[in-house]
Each structure stands twice: as structure tokens, then as C-alpha cells.
Amino acid sequence: MAVISTDAYFLGARSENSDSVNRAFGEILKHWFDWRSELFPDDAEVITNDERQSEKFCVEEERLHAALKTLCDMLLAETPTFTPRYLSHMVSEASLPAIFGHLAALLHNPNNTSREVSRVGARVEIEAITMLAEMIGFDPMIAQGHFTCGGTIANFEAVWRARYRVDHALALGLVAAEKSGGPFSAFESAHVGWEKFDQIRIHDAISEQEMRSASSVLCNPLEIAERLSKSSRRSYRGSVLITPGNKHFSWRKAANIFHLGEESLWNAPLDEQGRLDIKELETLIDKARHQDRPVIAVVSVAGTTEAGEIDPIDGVVCLLNEYRLKGIHIWHHVDAAYGGYFCSMLGGEQEEILDEARRSALKSVRLADSVTIDPHKLGYVPYACGAFLTRDASSYTASSFHAPYIDRAETGDKWQSTIEGSRTAAGASATWLTGRTMGFGPDRFGAFMASTINARRKFEETIASQCKNIAVLAPADTNILCFSVIKKGDSLSNSNMRTNHVFRLFQKDPSFSVSKTVFDSENYRRLIEAHANRHRMTLDDNQLSLIRCVFMNPFLPKNHVLESFLPKFIARLNLYAEQALELSI
């Protein structure tokens, strides 16, 4: 089956599709103008012809246009993320459907906090969430979610719900134990699962009021902790959040904001490839159980921010299922802010570009309780646009809040269940139009995603054969490639100095843009050891500096574009590596 050509869906690095953009902008503006002029055709004009001819008007109008020109001129110096020369961060040019969708909604400016101010935007949001849910394999009929301003907030949305769930169950267990005087375990109580929760609640006739009076979220958490300690006959140390060592820094922010204390953010050590180690995860869950500390959630990552790696999500699902069979229900959140869109490859020939373990991991995203996806990364949607999804309605519910000025009779409003208040419909529209045109199926967006992974492969193969002083960090799972600079006989610290030097040379050079990352041994000890061993370096440093290239550019995978840019990049890299080899160390 023919796969998608993305040529019509991006402006092009030399504005090749400017006609198409002109046509679309004209269409959007025409609709916007007509909407106003035709809605109340008998109304008086609010700005008269005379007013528009006045000198005062003309002065202000000129001021507006002059300032706009200044802004546009300033923006000419903006980071050129659209070019195939840009390999730096997780951004490339936004797609045309995303820009058109964003702009069309922006001009109407709905506020998706409530249908009262978003008659259409709210509907577009639901449809766009359904498209994303389908893409990752959730049942679109029951999945829930909403758009956020990014992956950070989407991750917070998960913690908010998961913590609420733990708090609810813990409150029930505490009240039941206080009534019966029987044995109580915070860990066991927090993870009973909804079925058992309902049974206990009915069996022990526990009222809503009693539960509320035992909630750490609704009451004084220190007083509740004292009661928990008393009932469990040991000092209650609070709940923990388990993340892999390759996590995004938003999880530390979450710990901070949700008042968990950094001590409660437990890092599962990584394997030699920098992916979550399932055995280590199991050890941490058992440690939490042993210390009688509830686990708010276990987080796995699909597409790490540093290297685009995919954790063994299937392994996490399996492990948590084993616990579930023992009556221990633990929330699983997949942070797929970057890699969620790779799920679009599943089910088609395109998925074969991933190795089997990564495919299996992505196929398990659908079994998580909640998922973060950033359309403003691999969805090629303008900022700021993230998305938070849950498998079903029960995982979506958060503690509710009361806003007297918003009509409560209206069902389906999101304001109660979003961290953000006012929310744009622009990101939802951008995603909607992308789904309607490019489509999120395997031969559509899936083929596009596969082509970006293929671009990474081509660069990787060429570097391996033509750059003898570059050590690629292998294996790369997706479309990000990291490498370091080495010289025969180097120690790790020497290699790091050379890598840093090459990065500084690239920074001063406008011809190609790359980024740099540093792996620390606290999280990446096994990966660093493996990399050093493979390249016979003595381990005299506790970090590994890497040059990082993100292959998101939509044109780079095309043969003639690759043939034009790849040799230039290799020549530049070799030139800089040569200079770094001469560093006296």
C-alpha cells in the first residue's frame, strides 16, 4: 500500500509551499471576516468610515503596523528550527494542518474551560482526544483526556489523579481500621483497587463524611499521618512516586509541587542501554511495601528526552499485573510526551523499523492507566500543546472543585478535572486537523515517523563508517542519536573534554545545530560503564558527555535532501573531531 507523502503538509525549508499557505490563510481570514459581518447583519457598524479616516485613527494604525514590522524583523533572528540543518532539540517546523488548525481556532479564541465559552472548541477537543486515544491503542469509546499546555502539566495531571486515588483508598482503610481496631497496613490499604474498595465501604458502612475526615488531601496531612501511624503501629513515612532514572525533570517539579518531598521520588536504576530495569522496579515496589509506604504511581517513559529510548513498558505492565493478582493495584503512567506518536507505526509494515522489544513496549502503552503525549513535539503542532489521556473514565476523575460562576448543570465541562483553568482550543484544533489530513494510521503518520527513524539510521551508519573518532551510543531506539568523541587510549574524562569541545565548535557554527546532553552515573552508571568498556576507556569520570541529534526534520529523510546534507554534516563533524583530538590534555 502506498504510504503518505508529507510534501504537501509542510511549508518547506525555502517556503516552497507558500501558495498553499496563502490560500489557506485567505480562507481562514475570509471565514473570520464573514462570521462577524453576517452574524448580526442589521447591527450598526461600531467603527464608522469617518472614524477610520480621522487623523487620530491613522496615527494609531501606523503605530500598529510599524511596531508589527519591528517585531517581524526581530523574529528573522529567531532559531531556524525548520531547516534540515537543525538537529538540536525536539522541535522542527510545525506542519501546515497544525498551523492552519491553530490559527483558525486562535482567531475565534474559544476557552475550553467551559462550553459556555467554547461551543465548538470543546467538541473539537473531544474529537482530537479520541484520535490520540485511538493512536495509542486506548478504546476510543471509553478513553478520556484533555489538552494541556505541555507534557509537564500532563504529567502533573497524572500525579494529581493517582495521588487522589491513593488518598481515597487510604482514608477508607484508616476509617475501617479505626472502627474495627484490627490490623492496618498503609501499603495494602492504598492499593486495594476499586472493587475491594466498594466492598469494604459497603460492608463496613463507611460514610462519605467519615472518609473525608480521614483524607490527607482534605484535612491536615500531619494529623492524618499521626492517625495512620497509630493504626499501623509504626511511624507513617508518606507515599512514594517511582520513576525511572531517565525521567524528564518535570517529575521532580511534580514531587515539589505535590509536596511529596524529593526523598519520596524514587528513581529506578537503568540498565546498560539506559532503559528502566524491571527487576530494579520490583525491588523498589517491594521496598515501599516493606516500609509500608503507598506507591502513588509507577512511571515508565516512551521516548526519553535525552536519547529517545523506550522503556520496557510491557514488562512494567506484566509486573504490575502480578501485583494486581495479589490484590495490589498500582497506578501506571506512561510518559510518552515525546514517543507517543511512534505508536502510530503499530499495525503496519512501518513498525518493523523498531526492534521487537520496542514494538512490544509501545503496544503496551494502551494498558497503562494514564498517558502523556506532547503534540508540540512529534505531533508537529505549534506550542503550547500537550495532552493527558486515561484509559477510562474512572481513571480520569480527580477531586472536584466548585466554581459558582460556571454553570454546573452543563455536563462534559472540563474545568473541574483540569489543573489549568482557562485553556486554548488552538492545540486541539491543530491536532484535529492533523488527524483529519495526515491521519494517525500506520501508513500515514506511522510511515512519517518511521522515515524520521530511518534518517537517524542513515546518519548512524555513515558516522560509523566515516568518522573513526566518533563513538555512537548504541543502540538508538528511535530518531535521536547520541555520540561522543574518542581517541585511542583516552580515559572517559578526556573523551568528555573532546566531546564538549566539538559541541562548542558546533555552537559557534551556524551551518549545523546539534545539542548536548550529559549522563550522570547516579542514573546511568551501567550505561556509562558499558560505553567506556566498549571503547576501551578507563572510567575516571562520573559522567558521560554526548552530542545529541534529533532527526525530526520532515524533509531530511527524502533521498535527495539526505544526499545533500549528510555529507556536509559528516565533513563538519570530522573537521571538529580532528580539532578536538589535538587538544592537549
Ligand X SMILES: *Cc1c(COP(=O)(O)O)cnc(C)c1O
Is 243 near ligand X (CB under 6 A)?
Answer: no
CB of 234 to ligand X, least distance (A): 35
Choices 148-156, 317-325, 517-525, 547-555; region in contact with ligand X by CB under 6 A: 148-156
Nearer to ligand X, 313 or 502 (CB): 313
Q: What phi and psi, each to the nearest 5 degrees, are found at residue 90? A: -80, 60
| Residue 384 CB, nearest approach to ligand X (Å) | 7
Residue 342 binding ligand X, by CB under 6 A: no
378 is an interface residue for ligand X by CB under 6 A: no
Query: 267: exposed, middle or buried (C-beta count within 10 Å: 0-12, 13-18, 19+)?
Result: middle
Residue closer to ligand X by CB (options 151, 245) is 151
For residue 70, the tally of other CB atoms under 10 A from its CB is 10
Q: How far is the CB of 548 from ligand X (least distance, A)?
A: 12
> Between residues 206 and 254, which has the closer beta carbon with respect to ligand X?
254
* Contacting range for ligand X; rule: CB under 6 A; set: 114-122, 165-173, 330-338, 490-498: 330-338
Of 307 and 367, the one with the shorter C-beta distance to ligand X is 307
Q: Is 274 in the site for ligand X (CB under 6 A)?
A: no
Contact 273, 309 (CB under 8 A): yes
Please report the DSSP string for 507-526 in residue order. Answer: HT-TT-B-EEEEEEHHHHHH
For residue 309, the minimal CB distance to ligand X (Å) is 10
Contact between 427 and ligand X per CB under 6 A:
no
Nearer to ligand X among residue 147 and residue 323 (C-beta): 147
Question: Does the protein bind ligand X through residue 451 (CB under 6 A)?
Answer: no
Whole-number minimum distance, CB 173 to ligand X, in Å?
32
Q: What's the rounded Cα separation, in Å, for the pair 296 and 239?
A: 6
Interface with ligand X in residues 520-549 (CB under 6 A): none
305 belongs to the binding site for ligand X (CB under 6 A)? yes
Long-range contacts of 252-258 (CB under 8 A, 24+ apart): 253/152, 253/156, 254/155, 254/156, 254/159, 257/156, 258/156, 258/159, 258/160, 258/163
Measured distance CA(349)–CA(347) in Å, rounded: 7
| Helix 151-180, helix 221-232: angle, nearest 10 | 50
Task: Candidates 100-108, 109-117, 144-152, 555-563: pick the segment binding ligand X (CB under 6 A).
Answer: 144-152
For residues 146 and 388, the answer to whether their CB atoms sit within 8 Å is yes
d(CA 157, CA 170): 20
**Of residues 341 and 555, the one with the C-beta less far from ligand X:** 341
Rounded to an integer, what distance in angstroms lies between the CA atom of residue 85 and that of residue 88?
9
Q: Cα–Cα distance between 446 and 301 in angstroms, integer? A: 19
- Binding to ligand X (CB under 6 A) within 2-31 occurs at none
Binds ligand X by CB under 6 A, chosen from 238, 294, 315, 386: 386
The three cell numbers locating residue 558? 527524502
C-alpha span between 188 and 101 (Å, rounded): 48
Residues 528 and 492 sit within 8 Å (Cβ to Cβ) = yes
Asked whether position 479 contacts ligand X by CB under 6 A, the answer is: no
Residue 250 touches ligand X, criterion: CB under 6 A? yes
How far apart CA 116 and CA 407 sit, in angstroms, is 8
Closest distance to ligand X from the beta carbon of 249 (Å): 8
- Nearer of residues 173 and 386 to ligand X, judged by Cβ: 386
DSSP code per residue over 123-162? HHHHHHHHHHHHHHT--TTT-EEEEESSHHHHHHHHHHHH
301 near ligand X, judged by CB under 6 A? yes
Which residue in the set 112, 114, 130, 152 belongs to the binding site for ligand X (CB under 6 A)?
Answer: 152
**Applying CB under 6 A, which part among 40-48, 331-339, 421-429, 455-463 lies near ligand X?**
331-339
Q: Least distance from C-beta 241 to ligand X, angstroms?
A: 14
Closest to ligand X by CB, 246 or 496: 246
335 lines the binding site for ligand X (CB under 6 A): yes
Q: Is residue 147 at the binding interface for ligand X, with CB under 6 A as the rule?
A: no
374 binds ligand X (CB under 6 A): yes
Span of 96-104, 332-340, 542-550, 560-568 interacting with ligand X by CB under 6 A: 332-340
Which amino acid type is present at position 149?
Answer: C
Q: Which residue is nearest to ligand X (CB)?
A: 151
Pairing of the two strands 370-373 and 332-336 = parallel
Interaction of residue 453 with ligand X, rule CB under 6 A: no
Residue among 358 and 501 whose Cβ is closer to ligand X: 358
Beta carbon of residue 335, minimum distance to ligand X (angstroms, whole number): 5
Cell for 158? 497524572
Helix residue ranges, H only, 350-389:
356-363
Size of interface with ligand X, in residues (CB under 6 A): 13
State the nearest-atom distance from the C-beta of 248 to ligand X, in Å. Answer: 3
Give CA–CA dist 457/246, Å, rounded.
Answer: 22
Q: Does 477 bind ligand X (CB under 6 A)?
A: no
SS3 453: helix
AA identity, residue 524: Y
Residues that bind ligand X (CB under 6 A): 150-152, 155, 248, 250, 301, 305, 335, 337-338, 374, 386
